[in-house]
Amino acid sequence: MTLVKSKSGGVNILTFDIEDWFHTHQNRHQYSGHIWQKLPSKIVSNTVRILDMLDRHELKATFFILGWVAKYYPEVVSMIHAKGHETGAHSYWHHSPQRLSHADFEKDLKLCLDTIQDITGEKVTAYRAPGFNLNPKDTWAFEILAAHGIKTDSSVQLVHIPKSIPLILKNRNYEIAEFPLVTTSFGFPYSGGGYFRVLPSVYVNYLFKQYKYHLLYFHPRDFDPDYPFINLFSFFRNQLNRFNTDRCMDKLEVVLEQYPTITLKEATKLSDTKNP
């Protein structure tokens, strides 16, 4: 496996991280995940909004699902799976791997995988770390991921597009196909989440034209026009979280019409076919 290239000379992978509006990293250290159950969830309606949009465009995508969401809202996993989308894991408690001991990282991963797999009946082989917080040098994490059946990862942020996509991360204990999030040379990601919402469309279009590989990543909350205001976050963070959520879906649909997207699984197959 070396270089993935579609006929248009690029590859665009569409992914969603399925977590609720309060599952952000901001101020995460100030509260325990155990309060999540007390907050009003919007995960079902916000995920349905995404699934309806994908149906309209006849697209399939990769969904990295938070184990906590799978546990308390299993219908979200069932809906995604029933529509034929790819299901991946996004940890159980949404901790950055860098803040966990190796043993706790493994425990969290296993809990996430078991929760999702019990619903779909299918093995999960794709993983994304919260906050794209893995580095190719985190061999300990990739060893744990591979030991639990993960074959494809999308947790690494790079400033330049590597010569080959996927990046093959391996040592004698693992081989994982890495589909990294590539940022601009200034170091900010433009292909999803808050940056995509905040940046002007003209600039987003310019960046999409500049690069041949795009990893699109969104959350259900990015498209919620009624994003709740909460005192867990600062005033500024509240404003940022809610900024342009009423326009983000339209903005994404314009991009999707110009840049056909595929799932991680399809991207892996494409690279296998082209480089047997």
81/95 with CB nearer Zn ion: 95
Which positions from 177 through 196 interact with Zn ion, judged by CB under 5 A?
none
- Shortest distance in whole angstroms from residue 76 CB to Zn ion: 15
State the minimum distance, in angstroms, from the CB of residue 191 to Zn ion: 15
**DSSP calls for 172-200:** TTEEEEE-PEE--TTS---SBHHHHHHS-
Return the range that interacts with Zn ion (CB under 5 A); candidates 50-58, 124-132, 184-192, 244-252: 124-132
Contact positions with Zn ion (CB under 5 A) in 130-159? 130
What whole-number distance in Å separates Cα of residue 66 and Cα of residue 163? 31
Task: Give 134's contacts (C-beta < 8 A, 6+ positions apart).
Answer: 97, 141, 142, 153, 155, 156
106 contacts Zn ion (rule: CB under 5 A): no
Q: Which residues of 10-26 are buried (b: 16+ CB within 10 A; e: fewer)?
A: bbbbbbbbbbbbbbbee
Compute, in degrees rounded to 10, the torsion defined by CA atoms 264, 267, 271, 273.
Answer: 110
3-class SS at 134?
Answer: strand
CB nearer to Zn ion: pick between 19 and 271: 19
Q: How far is the CB of 90 from Zn ion (least distance, A)?
A: 6
| Nearest distance from C-beta of residue 274 to Zn ion, angstroms | 31
Q: Rounded to the nearest whole angstrom, what is the least distance from the CB of residue 209 to Zn ion in the complex? A: 28
How many residues sit close enough to Zn ion to count as binding (CB under 5 A)?
Answer: 3
Candidates 122-130, 178-186, 201-209, 232-240; binding stretch for Zn ion (CB under 5 A): 122-130
| Total Cβ atoms within 10 A of residue 37 | 9
The half-sphere exposure of 158 on its side-chain side, counting CA atoms within 13 A, is: 19
Residue ranges of E strands in the chain: 11-18, 62-65, 86-89, 126-127, 152-153, 157-158, 167-171, 174-178, 181-182, 213-218
Cβ proximity to Zn ion, 85 vs 94, nearer residue: 94
Identify residues 34-73 at the interface with Zn ion (CB under 5 A). Answer: none
Of the two residues 130 and 180, which places its CB atom closer to Zn ion in the complex? 130
62 or 271: CB nearest Zn ion: 62
Which residues ranging from 2 to 41 are in contact with Zn ion (CB under 5 A)? 17, 19
Query: Residues interacting with Zn ion, by CB under 5 A?
Result: 17, 19, 130
